[in-house]
Structure 1
Amino acid sequence: MTEDKYFKTDVEEKEVPYDPSQLRKISKHPCFSEKACNRFGRIHLPVAPKCNIQCNYCLRKYDCVNESRPGVTSKVLSPEEALERVDEAMDKFHYIKVIGVAGPGEPLFNEETFKTYELVSEKYPEKIYCISTNGLLLSEKLEELKKLGVSTITVTVNAIDPEIAKDVYSHIYYQGKKYTGKKAAEILLEKQLEGIEKAIELGMILKVNTVYIPGVNEDHIPEVAKKIGDIGVYLHNIIPLIPQYKFSEKEPPTPEEKEEMKEKCSDYVRQMEHCRQCRSDACGKLGEDKQDSLES
């Protein structure tokens, strides 16, 4: 399969607003380029345990070595321990090009995330720095992220309509208050889109993850794709639901349904083909994780 299988010709022919430095990062980032995932690796540093959102499909476990999914790590690290892990990984796996924080909670809701980037980027300034976020605090933290060298960002956006989003999230915490229902969804969606737009204006490269939840957002996902495509998001990753927490009884989409959805959304934005739904402590190439071989 080629990297552009789900990126149709009419979209391909549009002007691509990426400069050479951005394209070089894309070409070495295994999550942003299918070709790169066979040559280069990444390391996720699990330094962010707290979360400011409760998704109805999310169950975070900190000691679950046999599962490969977001929100899972064998251990939450301190920033200093994270630097030690990077040192060990760089010594063992010279193909690692990307250093990121993807949880197990919300990276931007944990000060340890920023301390980790500070420590690691000072020692390894040539690496690509990446973050995965729910987007609630993205616009507020962008300048700090840019100063620390973060250049690629993944935001999980499951809906752009609050009436749909309210069924995806149990609650959010924002500016010291807890919100539920439609109000929570309205705040979250506003902040997500604001953060994505500002990040692109700052020259960052954006990927959006969307969890495909049958019975909740399947008819709405093409609208998400159109919106993020119009904004200028580089890549869209449609992830099948992993049934757990409040959605534990839901059936995930079939592979055929997922492929059909990607085909629909490819009219608007490039579709990711090679996601492995990585753990928060993943290390190595996609599909060839080596975190169990690290002592730190």
Structure 2
Amino acid sequence: MINHISKLHPCLGGEAHLNFGRIHLPVSSSCNIQCRFCKRECNNNEERPGVSKGILAPKDAVGIVKRALELCPQITVVGIAGPGDTLATTEAIKTFRLIDEAYPELIKCLSTNGLLLYRYAKEIYDAGVRTVTVTINAVDPCIQSKIISHVIYEGKKYYGEEAAIILIANQLKGIDEMNRLGVMVKVNSVLIPGINDEHIEEIAKTIKAHGATLYNIIPLIPQHELSHIHAPTCEQLNKAREIAEKHIEIFRHCKHCRADACGIPGREDLSNKLYGTYKYLETFSHG
């Protein structure tokens, strides 16, 4: 199954990346952690994660996918990647259930920070999701505490290393559960010079041991609390990837996609045509 998916999923395979498309449905409005580099926005002009034109209601998702397939018949993947976390609310799982019923042949892909992945693993699987991306920026609580401001877990807000310990443990437990269910897991890490750039090999070894199949190391976009840190150079990024590749397969084609991206990565983004006249909720919660 993994080989089949890799050939059709543009965010998992290099050949697929050039030939197949994806649609991201921006149904997830809030988040349960605060990364120091993350600034979620509703706008039309920024090409990065955490941004969409607005929030889509799950009940409208099937119609949007139908329109997307008319615009880009090469779409093989329906993904949900924000603009908040996909498991901070129930909207993503509701949406995947509707999409799986209407389009069982399309690959369903969920991206999450992993805080609640273990808890919803079976529901995710039952909704037809067979590929999951988990963002793990550190497996050392000291390092992770420099990357996140807080987590909200079971109704309580945690800070510092206490927050980091909860997040890391839950992320790895979530990967274990997805692996047990036969779901393909890719891990994303944001490479942050001076914070986790010397930690990438440890992340690679850890996620491989827990069953991740693919590792995607992406450069920091300097913003929010980490706006003072420069993005990694190409040399730093390549070095990190080469070190990690000793332990796990590396994906090298990430485009820093928006939460409402549509089309074949690297070609024309069709989200304006897809959502241009669509009525959104105007804002979303900042968690």
TM range (shorter): over 0.9
Write the distance in 2 (CA, Å) between the matches of 1:23 and 1:84.
Answer: 30
The one of 21, 41, 57 equivalent to 1:61 is 41
Write the distance in 2 (CA, Å) between the matches of 1:280 and 1:217.
Answer: 25
Checking the alignment, whether the CA contact within 8 Å between 2:108 and 2:130 is kept in structure 1 is yes
The one of 259, 268, 272 equivalent to 1:280 is 259
Letter matched to residue 58 of structure 1:
C
Write the distance in 1 (CA, Å) between the matches of 2:134 and 2:236.
Answer: 23
Match of 2:23 in 1: 43
Write the distance in 2 (CA, Å) between the matches of 1:158 and 1:121.
Answer: 31
Match of 2:175 in 1: 196
Q: Map 1:54-93; keep pairs closer than 5 Å.
A: 54-63=34-43, 65-93=44-72
Match of 1:111 in 2: 90
- Give structure 1 stretches of 5+ with no counterpart: 1-20
Write the distance in 2 (CA, Å) between the matches of 1:22 and 1:228.
Answer: 17
Q: CA deviation at 1:81?
A: 2.3
Letter matched to residue 3 of structure 2:
L
Checking the alignment, whether the CA contact within 8 Å between 2:71 and 2:270 is kept in structure 1 is no
Letter matched to residue 233 of structure 1:
A
The one of 221, 226, 230 equivalent to 1:251 is 230
Letter matched to residue 5 of structure 2:
K
Size of the aligned set, in residue pairs, is 275
Write the distance in 1 (CA, Å) between the matches of 2:217 and 2:251.
Answer: 7
Write the distance in 2 (CA, Å) between the matches of 1:118 and 1:199.
Answer: 17
- TM-score, normalized by length of structure 2? 0.94
The one of 117, 125, 135 equivalent to 2:114 is 135
Q: Residue 266 in 1 paired to residue 216 in 2?
A: no
Q: CA deviation at 1:112?
A: 1.4
The one of 106, 126, 129 equivalent to 1:150 is 129
Q: CA deviation at 1:29?
A: 0.4
Q: CA deviation at 1:221?
A: 1.1
Write the distance in 2 (CA, Å) between the matches of 1:26 and 1:128.
Answer: 10
Q: Residue 238 in 1 paired to residue 184 in 2?
A: no
Letter matched to residue 174 of structure 1:
Y
Q: CA deviation at 1:62?
A: 1.2
Letter matched to residue 35 of structure 1:
E
Q: CA deviation at 1:26?
A: 1.4
SS in 2 for 1:278: coil
Match of 2:281 in 1: none
Checking the alignment, whether the CA contact within 8 Å between 2:33 and 2:152 is kept in structure 1 is yes
Write the distance in 2 (CA, Å) between the matches of 1:39 and 1:250.
Answer: 35
Checking the alignment, whether the CA contact within 8 Å between 2:77 and 2:107 is kept in structure 1 is yes
Give the alignment's Cα RMSD to 1 decimal.
0.9
- TM-score, normalized by length of structure 1? 0.91
Write the distance in 2 (CA, Å) between the matches of 1:131 and 1:284.
Answer: 17
Write the distance in 2 (CA, Å) between the matches of 1:251 and 1:92.
Answer: 37
Match of 1:13 in 2: none
Write the distance in 1 (CA, Å) between the matches of 2:258 and 2:42.
Answer: 10
Q: CA deviation at 1:76?
A: 0.8
Match of 2:285 in 1: none
Match of 1:160 in 2: 139
Q: CA deviation at 1:83?
A: 2.0
Write the distance in 1 (CA, Å) between the matches of 2:235 and 2:45.
Answer: 26
Write the distance in 1 (CA, Å) between the matches of 2:210 and 2:156.
Answer: 29
Q: CA deviation at 1:228?
A: 1.2
SS in 1 for 2:109: strand
Q: CA deviation at 1:37?
A: 1.1
